[in-house]
A and B are shown apart, each in its own frame.
Chain A
């Protein structure tokens, strides 16, 4: 049997620190391109102006090393650990937190993590929200996806009755986006997970947000639903910044999984237009 590859957790901490900065300062290229495309198709003059200002905002952020959005989010970190990796030098979760601490401090990012009742700020944006998965291979794949409160607050999990079927799923998504209106900073991106359980639905909905905006879902059933939901949501008229228009949503990501015969869970995670996501492979 081959000996496992060794990865120092300090390398994880360094990568997380760097990615926290990059994610908050530099709008991903796929998101920038989606704004530009939407500008061409948007019938509302105000909508086009908002999209133009969002591009200008991204340029200023990059040039001046200023966060794209003042809400630098809770630090959501996905870690895929290859099963042939031996992590050494300390506790992985602590290393991720150390990276978040440094990344937020060094880049002048807002720390938003607080006690749920006293609202006392933890001071360093930790604990991070860490999702770890064991996968084949000998690499560690990291994604840093800062998540702001405005869009997260508008997200929902539904435990539907199986009889409502696909129509019920569509209705749940439409109602979520309609109720959110201008609040989550449209144009939004939707992560929709159907099936599984209460807990995995929410997690999978968030994990879809790691995908590139121009990616095609390998599951044809999910890919079709993505297209249908995108078209439906964009009939609502909410538009950029909620000021009216055809560009309410840039992309819908769908993940379908088997569920219990008695269940039909649906999770809708709303992502604002500042769809920050940066990754690294160690």
Chain B
């Protein structure tokens, strides 16, 4: 287990290539949000030759549907949602330059292959820790698909968001490695 690695998006191939499954990272800077409904729209827009709602090159996307912001806050609770619902769309975005995805739960083989081929990583946030994650979010603004409510695409400015590298560009998988280490049978 490494010491804390600081990441500031937009990310380069070199940034992500240096990460290994099991690394702990702190992310600061601009990231974007999107869940399945937003992903479908982004992928449809790309297929129709339209611009995506934010630049995908080097981008980091956080799979989250936050709760409403209470008065005086920029956002409500904001923990990660289960990532497999985005698996059908993720390879398309990775090919377009997406460098990191933040969520929780396993990814399928196609997504892992796309990450290795086009240099992208999958980072896990602690599922359910919505209040803790909200503390790291300093700015939030809906930039696309406002009609999707909690699932709209937001631009977030985050500070020291704590995450674990699950899938790296070399085929490492913390979910598998962690399980093998502690399984008793």
Residues of A participating in the B interface, judged by any CB pair closer than 8 Å: 43-47, 50, 53-54, 56-58, 60-61, 64-72, 108-112, 119, 121, 148-150, 153, 181-183, 185, 235-239, 241-246, 272-274
* Known A183-B106, A244-B174: A43·B182 in contact at CB below 8 Å: yes
List of A residues within 8 angstroms of B68 by Cβ: 108-110
Query: Which listed residue, B81, B162, B179, touches A244 by the CB 8 Å rule?
Result: B179
Q: Is the CB of B70 within 8 A of A237?
A: no
Which B residue sits closest to A47, measured CB to CB?
A: B182
Query: Which listed residue, B64, B69, B132, B164, touches A46 by the CB 8 Å rule?
Result: B164
List of A residues within 8 angstroms of B170 by Cβ: none
The total of Cβ contacts below 8 Å across the A-B interface reads 168
* Known A150-B105, A243-B174, A244-B177: A70·B76 in contact at CB below 8 Å: yes
Query: Which listed residue, A54, A112, A183, A245, touches B178 by the CB 8 Å rule?
Result: A245
Q: Is the CB of B77 within 8 A of A67?
A: yes
Which B residue sits closest to A58, measured CB to CB?
A: B131
* Known A70-B65, A153-B82: A61·B131 in contact at CB below 8 Å: yes
List of B residues within 8 angstroms of A273 by Cβ: 128
Q: Is the CB of A71 within 8 A of B65?
A: yes
Docked complex: B157-182 residues within 8 A CB-CB of A: 162, 164, 174-175, 177-182
Is B16 engaged at the interface, CB distance under 8 Å to the other chain?
A: no
Query: Could you tell me the distance between the alpha carbons of A61 and B37 in the complex, rounded to whole angstroms?
Result: 28
Query: Could you tell me the distance between the alpha carbons of A68 and B79 in the complex, rounded to whole angstroms?
Result: 9
* Known A71-B81, A182-B105: A272·B127 in contact at CB below 8 Å: yes
Residues of B participating in the A interface, judged by any CB pair closer than 8 Å: 1, 37, 64-70, 73, 76-79, 81-82, 84, 104-106, 124, 126-132, 134-135, 149-150, 162, 164, 174-175, 177-185
- What is the distance, in angstroms, from A82's C-beta to the closest C-beta of chain B? 35
List of B residues within 8 angstroms of A245 by Cβ: 178, 182
- What is the distance, in angstroms, from B137's C-beta to the closest C-beta of chain A? 11
Q: Is the CB of A182 within 8 A of B175?
A: yes
- What is the distance, in angstroms, from B52's C-beta to the closest C-beta of chain A? 21
List of A residues within 8 angstroms of B64 by Cβ: 70
List of A residues within 8 angstroms of B78 by Cβ: 70
- What is the distance, in angstroms, from A123's C-beta to the closest C-beta of chain B? 9
List of B residues within 8 angstroms of A244 by Cβ: 174-175, 177-182
* Known A182-B105, A273-B128: A70·B175 in contact at CB below 8 Å: no
List of A residues within 8 angstroms of B127 by Cβ: 150, 182, 185, 241, 272
Which A residue sits closest to B64, measured CB to CB?
A: A70
Q: Is the CB of A54 within 8 A of B129?
A: yes
Q: Is the CB of A108 within 8 A of B67?
A: yes
Query: Which listed residue, B128, B131, B149, B175, touches A60 by the CB 8 Å rule?
Result: B131
Query: Could you tell me the distance between the alpha carbons of A237 and B179 in the complex, rounded to whole angstroms?
Result: 5
List of A residues within 8 angstroms of B106 by Cβ: 181-183
Q: Is the CB of A68 within 8 A of B175?
A: no
Q: Is the CB of B149 within 8 A of A243?
A: no
List of B residues within 8 angstroms of A153 by Cβ: 82
Q: Is the CB of B175 within 8 A of A108?
A: no
* Known A237-B183, A243-B164: A68·B178 in contact at CB below 8 Å: no
Q: Is the CB of B175 within 8 A of A242?
A: yes
* Known A66-B131, A70-B130, A182-B105: A242·B70 in contact at CB below 8 Å: no
Query: Could you tell me the distance between the alpha carbons of A273 and B128 in the complex, rounded to whole angstroms?
Result: 8
Q: Is the CB of B178 within 8 A of A46?
A: yes
- What is the distance, in angstroms, from A102's C-beta to the closest C-beta of chain B? 14
